Structure 1
Amino acid sequence: MSLLQSLSYPEYKNVCAMSKEQCDILAKLANLTVTYNDSKSPGEQLMKFLDRRGFSVSQFQQLVTNTLNFKVTYFRPQSKVAILIANDKYEHLSKLITPSIDCESLAVNLKELGFICMIIRNTYSEDLKNILTQVISQIPEDSYCFIFYAGHGCELCNTKCILSIDCPTENIEIDHCVTENWILREISKCKPELCVLIMDMCRMYLDRNTNLPIFAAVPFIEDYIIHSNLLIGYSAESSQAAYEVLQIECSTTLDNCVTYELKPGDTGRIVPGSSQYVAALCERLMENVDVSTLLDKVHADVENSMKKQRPIKVQCGVAKRSLYDPVRGNTPDLLCNLQEISEKYKECVSM
């Protein structure tokens, strides 16, 4: 029997659902040149082409396996560095549970993808700026930079702000913040080939009447330029909450109308979890797709999470890049330099 006659229907449907990029990889592995038209899916057209060429089911199944395991190298960056920032031990604002867990979970996954990971925890804005400036100064040109923040945040005249751990509830000043603009301005100095900035935080609008000092600083917010490819992910829309996901081991059943207040000793009973956004991101990080497609899939997962949350993606630059692209630079030397910075700020920085 022919390939089409022998193939099971689920296998046929899976191939019909393959993207054109995957079909091109399969055709290349089979040493075939296939021209597609718009009347049918690329997978369906490829199937018929392979059938006419006499491929057996076993040959076809091996080609599909090899295709799914094949990773396209879009670019070879000089290095790959992930800067993961967690603020959870606030002095005046509500304390958070998942930011440090989020960063640790991301670090585990990103290290598997070849990233050097640095976690920065619970800093004042000036300290965070000093650390970031020193770290960025060590990153060579044409690198991939992955920057993640989890903690409290706000939005000020379309500028997103990281709130430091000493941020008050009222009369917030610009010195209590590290703006998205400042981060993008600094990261552009190392001329990265790819920068991914993810801000997993609420983007609540500040009340002008109770926060006059920070609104007075709006004219002085930093300008920035974009060197190459930039992808920004916001875990929530403006004025929308970014949810933590916690599972607490307890004997009492809690319904949706009950707010559970953490008490001394409760943190030891929390099952390791993460924010809705990071849970979805960690599920997808290892997928064989470019980073723009990856974020699209993550955002779709978050929109379908148990609590209503709609992420936003901003993209500048259309070149495809992937988090698994292999590096070509001297990673050991860079690692050594970053470890020195980590040791200098060991109270709040780890690798």
Structure 2
Amino acid sequence: MSLLQTLPYSLYNNLVKRKDWIQKVTTVKKIRDANAKNGEELINYFDKKGYTLSQFYKLLKDCDISLTETNSQSGALANQSRPILKIAILVANARYDNWSHLVTPISDCKILADILKSMGFIIFLLTNVNSKQFRESMTELCTIIPTKSYVLFYFAGHGFELCGTKYMLGVESPSEKYTIDNGVSENFILKNGFLNKPDLFILLLDMCRKQPDRVSNPDIYLNIPRMEEYKHTCNLIIGYATSPYMPSFEKLCCESANSLSQVQHDTCEINHMTKSDNLESFNEEESSSESDGIGDQVTHKLTSEKKLNGVSLYVNHLSKYLNKNEDFIRILELVHKEFANEQCEQALLQKPQKLDNVAGQFYLHLKAKGHKETEEKLHSIVNELHNQGINIAIK
């Protein structure tokens, strides 16, 4: 990982504000090509030079620069009460009945699940669920989540935006004449998520936010969508993978079975393509999807000699910072900065957004107190939902 990815934000912020260390470093180390006018530019210089965190610490020590960090993080952690439980609900819809199959949702959720599990989260993974199964699962899980907990919800799949509300599509959705009943709204998620007053609720939507086409689907505009009302009872952070009316992209990798070193990369839009549409660089008509079960990566096989996999652009950047011991809002800011530095042209169309209404800072590494009775109930609910034919697993 790069220096900017591993450098504690409190130290970074401290060095950015200080000027004394710039002259020390450039003089002692006789650095002539830095041309740094401030602390941020000098840190970026060492990042581009490939410095690791340990090398950067040694450089500061050699130059007799204090490593004392600001106490903002330690103070925030001291004042932050431990959550009862930390729960992540991850939904991966990849294999749609009438829309194009998506490559990355299950692998995206698996990447996030591994990181969050290492941070002490209980993981619930839903895969390829229809809208009815989606709603039932969220209702059942959220009724058990105890108060004063942390909840992180993430969705990867097809979606749309209508009248300012975002809808996550179930796998049964028609490709053209779909209605809001084929989707689960973010308001529904928040209404159920706030039910037992968790201390923090994080909503992450990794999907397109385009509006339904008025020509092929005019009926969806005839009625004002039903809005689920909810009472804002906890700290809320929302992260959207893209901006209103804009697409979201998958970063795909096509590997040859005969030569794993020859890899072709491309980015494809997570949009309203039907099964008959073609991916720009890969022939969807020749592909098929395989999944060995919940939590396994979906691989699209284009031919007998090639396979297609990848990661969404959003998770590609989020996974770099999610395990950092930083305030979560700061983590989203770092993700947005990565998008700003992204070189591919698709990143110009995909600009993530965040909304927040929080009191203080929230560090996801904070250890949960634990609640054995609730954990047993959650396991029981997962078994019941699984027996109903819903693809759900707990990790």
With the shorter chain as reference, the TM-score category is 0.7 to 0.9
Shift of 1:288: 2.1
Report the Cα distance in structure 1 between the residues aligned to 2:8 and 2:153, rounded to whole angstroms. 36
Aligned match of 1:36 = none
Q: Give, as a single letter, the amino acid of the residue that structure 2 aligns with 1:151.
A: G
Residue 190 of structure 2 corresponds to residue 184 of structure 1: yes
Shift of 1:225: 2.4
Residue 298 of structure 2 corresponds to residue 261 of structure 1: no
Aligned match of 1:300 = 337
Residue 300 of structure 2 corresponds to residue 324 of structure 1: no
Report the Cα distance in structure 1 between the residues aligned to 2:121 and 2:315, rounded to whole angstroms. 17
Task: Provide Cα deviations, 1:56-112, integer angstroms capped at 9, x if missing partner.
Answer: 959x78955999x97952331111100001111100111101001111111100011
Indicate which of 134, 155, 176 corresponds to 2:161: 155
Name the SS of the counterpart of 1:274 in structure 2: strand
Residue 234 of structure 2 corresponds to residue 228 of structure 1: yes
Aligned match of 1:135 = 141
Q: Give, as a single letter, the amino acid of the residue that structure 2 aligns with 1:153.
A: G
Aligned match of 2:392 = 349
Q: Give, as a single letter, the amino acid of the residue that structure 1 aligns with 2:188.
A: W
Shift of 1:198: 0.4
Aligned match of 1:119 = 125
Change in Cα spacing, 1:81 to 1:206, as seen in structure 2 (3 Å) is same
Name the structure where strand makes up a greater proportion of residues. 2
Is the CA contact 1:145–1:192 (under 8 Å) kept in the aligned structure 2?
Answer: yes
Is the CA contact 2:149–2:198 (under 8 Å) kept in the aligned structure 1?
Answer: yes
Aligned match of 2:88 = 82
Shift of 1:218: 2.4
Indicate which of 97, 106, 120 corresponds to 2:112: 106
Report the Cα distance in structure 2 between the residues aligned to 1:247 and 1:174, rounded to whole angstroms. 33
Report the Cα distance in structure 1 between the residues aligned to 2:308 and 2:322, rounded to whole angstroms. 22
Report the Cα distance in structure 1 between the residues aligned to 2:95 and 2:242, rounded to whole angstroms. 22
Name the SS of the counterpart of 2:197 in structure 1: coil
Name the SS of the counterpart of 1:245 in structure 2: strand
Change in Cα spacing, 1:267 to 1:171, as seen in structure 2 (3 Å) is closer
Q: Give, as a single letter, the amino acid of the residue that structure 2 aligns with 1:293.
A: R
Task: Provide Cα deviations, 1:161-199, integer angstroms capped at 9, x if missing partner.
Answer: 001111112221121010111111111112111111000
Aligned match of 1:275 = 312
Deviating more after overlay: 96-105 vs 201-210: 201-210
Report the Cα distance in structure 1 between the residues aligned to 2:18 and 2:200, rounded to whole angstroms. 30
Q: Give, as a single letter, the amino acid of the residue that structure 1 aligns with 2:184.
A: V
Name the SS of the counterpart of 1:220 in structure 2: coil
Name the SS of the counterpart of 1:161 in structure 2: strand
Q: Give, as a single letter, the amino acid of the residue that structure 2 aligns with 1:188.
A: F
Indicate which of 11, 18, 30 corresponds to 2:11: 18
Name the SS of the counterpart of 1:297 in structure 2: helix
Q: Give, as a single letter, the amino acid of the residue that structure 1 aligns with 2:179.
A: E
Task: Provide Cα deviations, 1:220-250, integer angstroms capped at 9, x if missing partner.
Answer: 2212222121111110112222111121112
Change in Cα spacing, 1:258 to 1:167, as seen in structure 2 (3 Å) is closer
Change in Cα spacing, 1:78 to 1:212, as seen in structure 2 (3 Å) is same
5+ residue gaps, structure 2, are 25-59, 267-278, 290-298
Report the Cα distance in structure 2 between the residues aligned to 1:102 and 1:320, rounded to whole angstroms. 26
Indicate which of 326, 329, 334 corresponds to 1:289: 326
Report the Cα distance in structure 2 between the residues aligned to 1:338 and 1:84, rounded to whole angstroms. 15
Report the Cα distance in structure 2 between the residues aligned to 1:16 and 1:128, rounded to whole angstroms. 37
1:143-222 equivalences in 2 (<5 Å)? 143-222=149-228
Report the Cα distance in structure 2 between the residues aligned to 1:290 and 1:131, rounded to whole angstroms. 29
Change in Cα spacing, 1:96 to 1:219, as seen in structure 2 (3 Å) is closer
RMSD between aligned alpha carbons? 3.5
Name the SS of the counterpart of 2:139 in structure 1: helix
Name the SS of the counterpart of 1:205 in structure 2: coil
5+ residue gaps, structure 1, are 1-9, 24-39, 49-55
Change in Cα spacing, 1:140 to 1:43, as seen in structure 2 (3 Å) is farther
Name the SS of the counterpart of 1:231 in structure 2: strand
Indicate which of 344, 353, 361 corresponds to 1:312: 353
Change in Cα spacing, 1:115 to 1:57, as seen in structure 2 (3 Å) is same
TM-score computed with the length of structure 1 as normaliser: 0.78
Change in Cα spacing, 1:241 to 1:158, as seen in structure 2 (3 Å) is same
Report the Cα distance in structure 2 between the residues aligned to 1:137 and 1:82, rounded to whole angstroms. 15
Change in Cα spacing, 1:217 to 1:132, as seen in structure 2 (3 Å) is farther
Change in Cα spacing, 1:284 to 1:270, as seen in structure 2 (3 Å) is farther
Change in Cα spacing, 1:216 to 1:192, as seen in structure 2 (3 Å) is farther
| Identity across the alignment (%) | 30
